[in-house]
Chains A and B, each alone.
Chain A
């Protein structure tokens, strides 16, 4: 069996770098805040190495951005990397906080050779702007140790003799032994992993510890080392973390663009669409702001979502500076197949144009400001219609014609207005409408059509208390 291991020396820094435009030196400091744990290439250029004291590092680089180490956050970032890798390689095992293990022997047949798989992974890493060292090994541990020691080599990835030689040449301080075991091995005069392999197993177990023997056997492959395969979650979730807090909504658009691009990729892989995004804006102290972005129809294009988010951000300002941004999508819809009339597909897709327009309007003006009219079977004029949110675009379904024998005005007043003048002419009426005795909203009126002095035709009624009201206009 062959295994490919990806070791990310400064994953957190790569992740942060993707959400910002400038390139200045960044380091991750240990939780105690004393030492440098990870340093980005820019910082390394200025002489900062992991393990350096923070004070020294600050004097080396003038504008050094520092990030507190956070194992939980690093694990989440690692999961994000596993998500895209899963599209190309499986099964994957997570090695938090900075490693991913891929079983390469099964993929050998898919990609042709281990070298081809290696090339593919390297290209994907550069697409995602990540730094990682790769190594192939015959056991998971062998691959991991070589990758961490940066002893991986692309050429002849499946040459077992070369791999064994490489593993045997590994210095003991890269072999991942416990501190005390390492000291004892060094005191025995051993310097490489090959020296340890040469010891008789019984002696190794007796002189050191049975656990050490187990570990060595796992590296060699003489003892089973089962791996638990990672399964991606069904929903989409990605986070962008910022090194400096973002105070204006415009600043969020740049990282969001990348997240939406990742979402578009994800949706393309699923061959699905979505119509609901959840944005979580994380703040320092206060609870996260939740923003729901809704489109009226299935959508997958990043630019369409970005357009909606931009409109939404115009409406609201940030409650507090934002430290991180999460994009979450839980609802997936089957992808709508564009039915194009012409072969080349030059005609605009009306269904899509409709959704774009209505989503834009709803996002800018609020969902309640748009509606469609629907007739209802009721004799009371104010209940003979209702409103409906404009959802899907209807095509070619002619409305059922209402069979009224009497004329109805095109304008209805939301509330009847008292009639203040004597009409000039009476044109039709009375038409008695008496209904609603069954639900307590009783209406008992005589309707007339009258011409007022202004020349307008009004729909007036007289109610049970002999009051006269205008209820509509014949526009």
Chain B
């Protein structure tokens, strides 16, 4: 074998086919019936990285992981939020029956510190889930996280900008999240280890705003009879003028 190939294999950047049998870890169910059932259920892979790629926060991306957080926090596992873009709102989390004592928020200054933090959190037995919102992450950094998650068989979910979808990544699961009509969330699988991506799934997340959109089928819920949108003065553009 040439030195070049040897180097490539030695340097852990190349994924080899025979390493595949290592994925014995069971997937964590997402808590959504549409996804968990079916011939090839999608789940959060244990001992591997997952990536959620999205353009805007507030499209329901947290709803996707809420059942997981709820289950882990109630089981006494700690859920770390590293560099979240906004403040996780405590009353809303408590309303979702998440045990707040198990939620730890960490802010780091540099990318190196963030990697160090994720690495340490992932390797600890108290950790159930690590979520991170990295600004920029090299593929080496992702590889390091992948190894840490593998070592402790922990869950790690990264929320990244959608333009990273063209970049290759060693993550075991890559999902593209886009808003769909009627406040639902479209989950498109970009990559999943050991399986075909499968068709995009539309997730109805009715509980998000306290209104059961699914039942009402469309648009304005009936209990709002009158709102400010009917009056011209309530248009924000106009009110600012």
Contact = CB atoms under 8 A, between A and B. Distances in A.
Nearest to B87: A412
Contact of B89 (A408, A446, A467): A408
Contact of A426 (B102, B127, B229): B229
B39 interface: no
Nearest to B116: A364
Contacts of B120: 357, 360-361
B24 to A, nearest CB: 21
Interface residues of A, number: 74
A350 interface: yes
Given A373-B105, A399-B94, A428-B224, A357 B121 contact: yes
Contacts of A462: 228, 234, 239
Given A354-B78, A373-B105, A475-B61, A407 B208 contact: yes
Interface stretch (A90-98, A254-262, A329-337, A450-458): A450-458
Contact of B91 (A372, A375, A454, A474): A375
B221 interface: yes
Interface string B226-241: 0111000011110110
B59 to A, nearest CB: 5
B214 interface: no
Nearest to A425: B219
A353 B121 CA distance: 11
Contact of B106 (A370, A457, A473): A370
A384 B94 CA distance: 11
A404 interface: yes
Interface stretch (A174-182, A271-279, A388-396): A388-396
A370 B105 contact: yes
Nearest to B178: A455
Contact of A406 (B58, B105, B210): B210
A71 interface: no
Contacts of A448: 227-228
Interface in A350-383: 350, 353-354, 356-358, 360-361, 364-365, 369-376, 381
Interface residues of B, number: 68
Interface string A419-442: 111110111111000000000000
Contacts, number: 209
B55 A373 contact: no
B117 interface: yes
Given A369-B107, A370-B105, A390-B104, A474 B90 contact: no
A47 B109 CA distance: 59
A411 B209 contact: no
Contacts of A384: 89-91
Contact of A473 (B57, B99, B127): B57
A414 interface: yes
Given A354-B78, A404-B95, A457-B209, A411 B55 contact: no
Q: A375, A384, A406, A458 — which one has the most chain B CB atoms within 10 A of its CB?
A: A375
Contacts of A446: 228
Given A412-B86, A467-B239, A475 B60 contact: yes
Contacts of B90: 373-376, 384-386
Interface in B100-157: 100-109, 113, 116-117, 120-121, 124-127
A321 interface: no
B77 to A, nearest CB: 9
Contacts of A348: 125
Contacts of B85: 411
A98 B85 CA distance: 63
Contacts of A397: 99, 101
B208 A457 contact: yes
B60 A457 contact: yes
A3 B229 CA distance: 97
Contacts of A451: 183
Interface of B: 55-63, 66, 74, 76, 78, 84-109, 113, 116-117, 120-121, 124-127, 178-179, 183, 208-211, 219-221, 224, 227-229, 234-237, 239-240
7 contacts: A354-B78, A357-B121, A397-B99, A398-B74, A407-B211, A408-B95, A425-B219
Nearest 10 pairs of A and B residues by beta carbon: A455-B179, A473-B58, A407-B210, A456-B58, A385-B90, A394-B101, A475-B62, A408-B92, A373-B90, A411-B86
Given A357-B124, A427-B183, 7 more contacts: A361-B120, A370-B106, A373-B105, A407-B208, A411-B87, A455-B56, A474-B209
